[in-house]
Chain A
Amino acid sequence: MDIVVNDTATEVSTDPDTTAVEVVREDLALTGTKLSCGTGVCGACTVLVDGSPTASCLLPATALEGRTVTTVEGLGGSHPAQRAFAAHDALQCGYCTPGFVVEAAAFVDRWRAEHGDVAPDRAAIADAMAGHLCRCGAYEGIYAAVAAACRGEHDTEPEHAPPRAEAMSKVTGEATYTTDVHPDGCQFGVIVRSTAAHARVRAVDGGGSPLVDLLPDDRTVRYVGQPVAAVVAPTRAKALAAAEAVTVDYETLPAVLDPESAREDGAPVVYPSKRERRSAPSSAEGATVPGSWSGNLRRSTLGSWRSATATRRLRAAAERDDPNLVTAEFSTGIQLHNAMEPHGCVARWDERGQLHLRTSTQTVGVLAREAAKRWGLSPQQVHVVAEHVGGGFGAKSGLTTETVAAVELARKTGTPVRVVLDRAEELTDTGNRPGTRTRLSLLATPSGDLAALGMDVHAEGGVSISSVAALLARLFYGTAPRRLRDIDVTTNHPPGVPFRGPGAAPMLWALEQGVDEIAHRRGEDPIELRRRWDGNPKRHALYDWAAALPVWLERPTAGSATGRFRRGVGVAAANWHYMANPGTEVEVTLDRGTVVARTGTQDIGTGARSVVTNVLAEELGLPVERVRVEVGHSATVHGPPSFGSQTTTSIGPAASDAARGLRAALRERVPETPPEGPVPPEALERAEGMRVVGKRHRDRRGYLTPFTVGDGFALGRGLSGAVHVTEVEVDTRLGRVRPTRVWAGVAAGRVYAPRLARNQCEGGVVQGVGYALYEERRADPATGTVLTDNMEDYRIPGIGDTPETVVHFHEGGWDHVRGGGVGLGEVSTIGVAASIGNAVFNATGWRPRDLPIRPDRVLKGLGS
């Protein structure tokens, strides 16, 4: 059939089952258009059909006949919407960006034709962009970009480079992700997954297809969706058919499918033996915390401090009905990472027996080391590339299933093999933030100091263990006695993995509402109370800032509002560890007048390229065009994984050191190079090929951990902090909570890339809104099958759910840290839900205890 694609007449052959997105991405190789949800929800696949934005994943290819199609590539890179997205940093990982940009281009053109060069209001932009989802939450930038493009501010070539180094490649669709890679001769792998919640697998019959085994040593599956095997075929359709033909012989074992029955005597046990328990995966970052097992429960009291005193005080306060004692139970739902780019790997073994992995990963270095260990290679024989990564949030760390399957299949077939998860797999078995049920006891002295804290957190992480929610309460409010207990309640459900601030988000949902409740009972300002309990000067600076905000000064008295729509304001504070990766290096080489920097990290949307670019350009006095940063390759000097908020504080100082080293080396080779100030471009050209490696030197007074732990990180001195002040409007009739405005104060020291850091903090607010109000993994109670395995039923925030957000950075207090700044990715999101809970209480006098705060819960809470 004939179609016109990006102004070129094209002929494609297609069958009735083919969708438009397949024609565009596979037949025409226009991979700027992305496939993410596959169900018409997320908009990543949006193309213009006869000028009208259309979801191409549900569009039969046959409907394109005789039509004109414009993809992101067809916009050419000079459309005002594209320039505006780059200039306003309306993106992070970039995977949803082509869809947004195509929609925005059509909207901006239409709007200007109808209204002239004036900005639409937020509601009009939200209406236009309602069919797009961005998991990074870059919606504030998108509002700004669309408005500016409508005002005609981006009609000409920009004078300045965009704040994000790779922005143009992301807004034009040029940026290549793992899902866009199809080497010649590549075959498709598909994973066969368990349909049983708990079973011993007696046999797997491939039905004639080559098959690799993905079962654990004990041949036992412990949840529906657990990988059993993988099959391969020349096309994805054939691979899916081959997977259908596989038969698995299960010896069904009794399963435990809800946390209540998991506690009962005689309940089926997920891990009956010591050996099996040792194989349980961890949902914590770093090492598994020690714990003691009893049936399906595993207890840890790590983090407790003067526990007996805390217990005695809490018990006595309960006996005397002390009004300064707050006890309450809080719960949180299971949150899914749901990065827009699914997990995927293209694996190839070369003729020398070396392994090449193109993987969507947050950890190129760790992955290379783990793959080397698993397949008996040296780390130098494993080449991991993750040029662009469409989001991770913790779920893409280390050696994950799709990579194991691709590597094994590639070895078996001798061809490259590509395994890309579909959205149902992504939302079932790539990890989650475990749900929790928390019993909180918080006691103040009559004079209003913290007397004791008790926290029992029962974590619902399926087959995973090592919840550290209660443990993290150790980081809060001084040294008052505290009894902190983490209890893993294992069930036959998919495992949790670290998720942006693991443990802290559910813990703060309880703790920060408890603190709010004490302040309320004592008739105190909740910020003043925190100021008294919290000795940290950096957070004191944030409290000063928050307390002076007009929205705070003019907040209503809790529960005083009447009428249908009730406005309230809430506050929550957060702390997070400062972690660094002390072995980090940045290598710089001079290539025809350009400084090329490399380090073994990756950019998952958090801005690693831009941090290094900014540091080098600033220290060498060069325009950013003279700096090129190459990340996402394991075959270079050591760089940090993108988790634990450690990336920027590791690569920034190493880049500084590299810049200093380069200047010193240049001064030897080209004596005209000045000791400071701009390095002349001629000097760079004369020293062609020069190579210098910068190191991330040790902090003053070193680290709390004497040696690096886990994947090579060290726990540094000091805690980053955040304070969120959130305004909500509660519709008491229809039960909807609408966050209207958020002020996000973050104390993480020096900010290396200000617009990008703000973007990440804005996205932290959006993810916190999702956690607070909408997101919830739900499973069938009878079989354990995840039902919210699509983006219609697993509900993440859209642009219309985004509050107007003001980000404030307090940059002082980190002089002991190399470079003066630490990470902010996690601290910027973990307290958001609690600030919403406190705002709902302020608005209505009803305190939500269970997440998400769904309409049914609001109606019930206000009715009772």
Chain B
Amino acid sequence: MTTPTTVHAATEALASHAGRARAGGTDVVALAHARRVEGPFVDLHRLTELRGISRRPDGSTLVGATTTIAEVAADATLRAHYPALVATAGALATPQIRAVATVGGNLLQRNRCSYYRNPAFSCLQSGGDTCPAREGEHQHAAVIDQGPCVAPHPSSMAVALLAHEASAHLADGGSVPVAELYDGTDPTRDHQLSPGRLVTGIELPPPVPGEAAAHHRATARSRAEWPLVEAVARLSISDGVISGAVVAVGAVARSPVRLTEVEDALVNSPVSDGPPPAALAGITGLCSPLPGNGYKVELLRATVTEVLERALRQD
């Protein structure tokens, strides 16, 4: 194990030891207990240069990769400009997890499928050749079928950042749109970052003035539960008409998903009528439920309706 204090040293360590990056540890430690990962670890908690939120001259905002979820949830500037991102951060996990879990770690965490997390099973994510969830227990599985694995993507922050068209800065100087961090057709991993590459921060494009945004996490209990469905909407409104719309959803597919058909159908709709049902009609066609998760089709429609209504109410 190494505990580098500079990004340079961290990337060196990742390259030379083939070590695994560990920031807050809330996922890596759990995976180690489930025997899904093993060290050596490259601990990132001393990379203070990656921690913090800064507004940049061009109006964009950079959120350092080791900034904690709690810091995002409590940041007044982010709250003013990216309210759905702040709401997403404040609703995920628990206060004690948010206190140490990082933005980078949240984006790169592994999925929560019981078959992947249980060492008794072998699946596509753990080197096996089948998905036991498809024929087995899949109440919480992906309902938008993108490939052989049906574990929904676990990152709530990814949904919000996808909605904000954010991009990830990498230690090697590169930059990847958040959308391209994920490939739902790949059944073997939860993100596409190659080993040894390190996310240093997230760039949020300049805020859109007058935008209305909302986030909702559909769960059975009131708090502290992985979502059945999650959605973020951003709406721009001019002269009582929706002039721009972004809708991103989570917990329904192998990757966070933008509902572009819904977005297109929303544009030019009058605000006063609420979300037009026609705009949501396309959701059913996107879904191909398994025998045990058909409810997610309706719940997805309901959750998207919820965030659209809330965003419209703010106008």
Contacts and interface: CB of A to CB of B under 8 A. Distances in A.
A53 B221 contact: no
Interface stretch (A406-414, A571-579, A631-639, A794-802): A794-802
A16 B1 contact: yes
Contacts of A734: 218, 299, 302-303, 306
Nearest to A787: B114
Contacts of A126: 222-223
Interface in A139-195: 195
B96 A40 contact: yes
A859 B295 contact: yes
Nearest to B43: A62
A15 B24 CA distance: 16
A429 to B, nearest CB: 14
Contact of B25 (A63, A733, A798, A855): A63
B12 interface: no
Interface in A53-74: 53-55, 57-60, 62-63, 65
A39 B30 contact: yes
Given A16-B39, A43-B94, A38 B136 contact: no
Interface string B297-315: 0110011011000000000
A377 interface: no
Nearest to B98: A131
A678 interface: no
Contacts of B226: 792
A19 B41 CA distance: 13
B221 A797 contact: yes
A52 interface: yes
A321 interface: no
Given A58-B26, A63-B43, A130-B94, A800 B222 contact: yes
Contacts of B96: 40, 43, 46, 53-55, 103, 131
A46 B98 CA distance: 13
Contacts of A781: 135-137
Nearest to A123: B222
Contacts of A62: 1, 3, 43, 45
Contacts of A200: none
A785 interface: yes
A778 interface: yes
B94 A40 contact: yes
B281 interface: no
Interface residues of A, number: 63
Given A16-B41, A55-B94, A855-B218, A795 B25 contact: no
A780 B26 contact: no
Given A801-B221, A855-B220, A17 B32 contact: yes
A623 interface: no
A778 to B, nearest CB: 6
B97 interface: yes
A787 B40 contact: no
Contacts of A735: 295, 299, 302
B29 interface: yes
Contacts of A65: 3
A19 B100 CA distance: 14
A128 B73 CA distance: 13
Given A788-B114, A854-B220, A855-B220, A17 B22 contact: no
Contacts of A53: 95-96, 99
Contacts of B43: 16, 60, 62-63
Given A733-B302, A792-B226, A859-B299, A785 B121 contact: yes
A734 B301 CA distance: 10
Contacts of A782: 132, 135-136
Interface string A118-130: 0000000011101
Contacts of A798: 221-224
A58 B29 contact: yes
A654 to B, nearest CB: 42
A38 B32 CA distance: 12
Given A16-B39, A58-B25, A734-B303, A774 B221 contact: yes
Contacts of A792: 112, 226
A733 B305 contact: yes
A736 interface: yes
A852 B117 CA distance: 24
A65 B45 CA distance: 10
B50 interface: no
A53 B97 CA distance: 9
Interface in B110-124: 112, 114-115, 117-118, 120-121
A265 interface: no
A101 interface: no
A38 B33 contact: yes
Nearest to B298: A859
A738 B219 CA distance: 11
A128 B120 CA distance: 35
Interface string B102-145: 00000000001011011011000000000010011101000000
A376 interface: no
Nearest to B40: A16
Interface in A399-457: none
Interface in A813-864: 852, 854-856, 859-860, 863
A789 B137 CA distance: 14
Contacts of A507: none
B118 A130 contact: no
Contacts of B95: 53, 103, 127-128, 130-131
Nearest to A15: B1
B10 interface: no
Nearest to A225: B120
Contact of B221 (A19, A52, A103, A800): A800
A103 B57 CA distance: 39
B261 interface: no
Contacts of B22: 60
A733 B94 CA distance: 25
Contacts of B223: 126-127, 130, 798, 800
A60 B222 CA distance: 29
Interface in B189-222: 218-222
B53 interface: no
Contact of B137 (A19, A787, A854): A787
B94 A19 contact: no
B162 interface: no
Interface string A24-53: 000000000000001111010010010011
Contacts of B302: 733-735, 859
Contacts of A738: 222
Interface string A756-784: 00000000000000000110001111110
Interface string A309-345: 0000000000000000000000000000000000000
A321 to B, nearest CB: 34
Contact of A17 (B39, B99, B100): B39
26 contacts: A16-B1, A39-B30, A39-B33, A40-B96, A43-B94, A49-B99, A52-B99, A53-B99, A55-B97, A58-B29, A59-B25, A126-B223, A128-B95, A130-B94, A733-B302, A734-B302, A734-B303, A773-B221, A778-B139, A779-B137, A781-B136, A785-B118, A792-B226, A800-B224, A855-B220, A856-B296
Given A195-B120, A800-B222, 11 more contacts: A15-B1, A40-B97, A41-B94, A55-B94, A55-B97, A55-B100, A57-B29, A778-B137, A795-B221, A852-B220, A859-B295
Nearest 4 CB-CB pairings of A with B: A131-B94, A856-B295, A16-B1, A800-B222
